[in-house]
A and B are shown apart, each in its own frame.
Chain A
Amino acid sequence: MSTETKRPVSQKPKDKPAAARNNGADGTEKAQPKEFEGTTPEQRRELLHSMLLQRRFEERCAEAYALGKIGGFCHLYIGQEAISTGVMSMIRPDDYVITAYRDHGQALARGVSPRAVMAELFGRETGCSGGKGGSMHLFDSKTNFLGGHGIVGGHVPIAAGVGFAIKYRRGNQVCVCFFGEAAVNIGAFHEALNLASLWDLPVIFIIENNRYGMGTAISRSTANEDVVIRAKGYRMDGETVDGQDVFAVREVMTRAIERARKEKRPTLIEMKTYRFMGHSMSDAVSGTYRTKDELEENMKRDPIIVLHNKMYEAGELTEGEMRKIDDEAKAIAQDAWDFADASPEPPLEKLYTDVYSDTTS
């Protein structure tokens, strides 16, 4: 089974002549779009690469799931990549990231090894959680990636705790916490927001609003669909942004990070997005709770196409370069698959390790 062709990342627009590029054949220089400010062409290609890697990786996950190489619950990130890439591109290595169970894309964007992520999904010893966590529980201490949490909203207070620790140590890191829009109806979210604001904790709470909590549309779950308004209830800054536009994500993060590092204040950000796959691998992509038309309409705003088109129209990306970046992403996903497939299962004696730590302070 191949899912790759479902997402036409390099279909449009058609190749333009080289003259359309910066410093094109005729020597004229095109005006750079304002949103490109703050990034170099190389960095923009890195953003594109990061998003394509997540896309191609997740496509392989769908394939591996169908083959039985990945088990359990498996929630793919396809359609939401501008958020993970945009956010991670703005924070520092010593900052902290914590997320829910739709975590593959965020782990990759954060810099967790694709091999270690795929090996974890395959349940192998070389996985980033030693094969004990699986899809919903990716952890990586090297990149301060604090998981992969499976209970909706349960990790939001934990993010406040990380913020508390930063404040306790008088550090200037931030903690970024991702969750879906359905989590705003659970108590843990409200308790965490109250504490983060009350205590001036440097936490950035990011609602990835993909409009469905599993199969329940936000209109059927949430009395006020303007979810970011909940920031007001906690005397917190709140902003809403187009989560399909990596530059918009980066821009809102600039302000939130500044607020967290300098003013030690939390921010609630709603990033509007759409998931192109089902809630999990056992969920139909469309037909039960959303129509095919709605899906197709939203897929027109594929975050990768949005970025690709901007770069293409600015004349800094040819279709050949796009293909090269895409091929690289595919090769990394393939390498991750091969590594995972060749890795051993955890030895049985690991069943009993890591229940308790032996050490005491």
Chain B
Amino acid sequence: MAVLTYRDALTQALREELQRDDRVFLMGEEVAQYNGAYKVSKGLLDEFGPMRIVDTPITELGFAGVGVGAAMVGLRPIVEFMTWNFALLALDEVVNAAAKTFYMSGGQFKMPMVFRGPNGAALQLAAQHSQAWESWLAHIPGLKVLTPGTPADAKGLLKSAIRDDNPVVFLEGEMLYNTKGEVPEGEHIVPIGVAELKREGDHCSVITHGKMVLVAMRVADDLAKEGINIDVVDLRTVRPIDVEAISRSVQKTNRAVVLEEGWEICGMGSQVVDFIQRECFDDLDAPVLRVHQEDVPMPYAKNLERAAKPDAGKTIAAIKKVMYLD
């Protein structure tokens, strides 16, 4: 199997789907001539031309709406946001139009489109550029929200997203683009709504998604040296969420830590904990703990930023606490 970066896995998925279906096109800021702000669309303009790889002005609300209109009449747009922080300007189109049109038209107008781009914090980009939006977006019925954490999932989920007839929010990670992993060639599809047990252990479940999968894997390695073995449940999709996979793991380990990049209040973890208390009430040997960003806007200074982010150390501390080891 080829080893690819997360970035190249995404490019491969885009290329294969653009080749497969001529209704698919990519639009966004700097996606064409510049080859993508993060080079995810590198080479695609040369291969598919300017009608299918479309540079837009800096006009998120405008081009998100263009995507909605094109999808409504049968094209399959992929709308790239340079980052999801900028997509706030376009949320009316994502939430009020893309997510709801199928329902409020009584099933007449489908919305086969993807909104994608990097989500969450990178390094020292400060408060306005360092935010994880999945809990906002997963709140909305009508959207599907995907959060791949590995190159293989990035490719397989992006192909599923493009083929789906619903509006799909696809959250990438700037810090993930250079990470490497084995990626199956050609037709590699990861189904939407199916979690993956990325590491098996009996002592505690760590339920996570997106960029935090890497943190959880590092935690699993570190704790294994101490004889603590954890399940790492990678949700991969946060709407719809794979409740069965969460239950299976927690019913086995009887302890859970929920790890996410975003803030605590109304975060994804709140929802996961709600599922756990409903499905696994009698299985729990300890209260479920959450690890997340501190409840502050992201600071710029290196030391403060490090302190604000969820990390391996905080996760290990939480795991030891639910195991009553600290």
Contact = CB atoms under 8 A, between A and B. Distances in A.
B102 A161 contact: no
A188 B92 CA distance: 10
Contacts of A129: 104-106, 108
B97 interface: yes
B57 A194 contact: yes
A157 B65 contact: yes
Contacts of A164: 66, 69-70, 75
A267 to B, nearest CB: 17
Interface in A126-164: 127-133, 137, 139-141, 146-151, 154-164
Interface string B124-164: 00000000000000000110100000000000000010011
B180 to A, nearest CB: 29
Contacts of A98: 69
B64 interface: yes
B110 interface: yes
A19 interface: no
Nearest to A129: B106
A133 B166 contact: no
B68 interface: yes
B256 interface: no
A139 B68 CA distance: 15
Interface residues of B, number: 47
Nearest to B113: A161
A141 B108 contact: yes
A354 interface: yes
Interface residues of A, number: 50
Contacts of B105: 129, 132-133, 137, 139, 141, 147, 354
A165 B106 contact: no
B101 interface: yes
A194 B92 contact: no
Interface in A195-228: 195, 198
B62 A192 contact: yes
A151 B96 contact: yes
B86 interface: no
Interface string B162-183: 0111100000000000000000
A162 B108 contact: no
A353 B62 CA distance: 30
Nearest to B92: A154
A232 B73 CA distance: 29
A97 B79 CA distance: 23
A131 B103 CA distance: 10
Given A137-B105, A141-B109, A357 B166 contact: yes
A355 interface: yes
Given A130-B106, A354-B107, A360-B164, 16 more contacts: A127-B106, A128-B106, A129-B105, A132-B103, A139-B104, A139-B108, A154-B97, A157-B63, A161-B68, A162-B70, A168-B25, A175-B69, A195-B59, A355-B102, A356-B102, A357-B102
Interface of B: 21, 23, 25, 51, 56-57, 59, 61-77, 92-93, 96-97, 101-110, 112, 141-142, 144, 160, 163-166
Interface of A: 96, 98, 127-133, 137, 139-141, 146-151, 154-166, 168, 175, 187-188, 191-192, 194-195, 198, 353-361
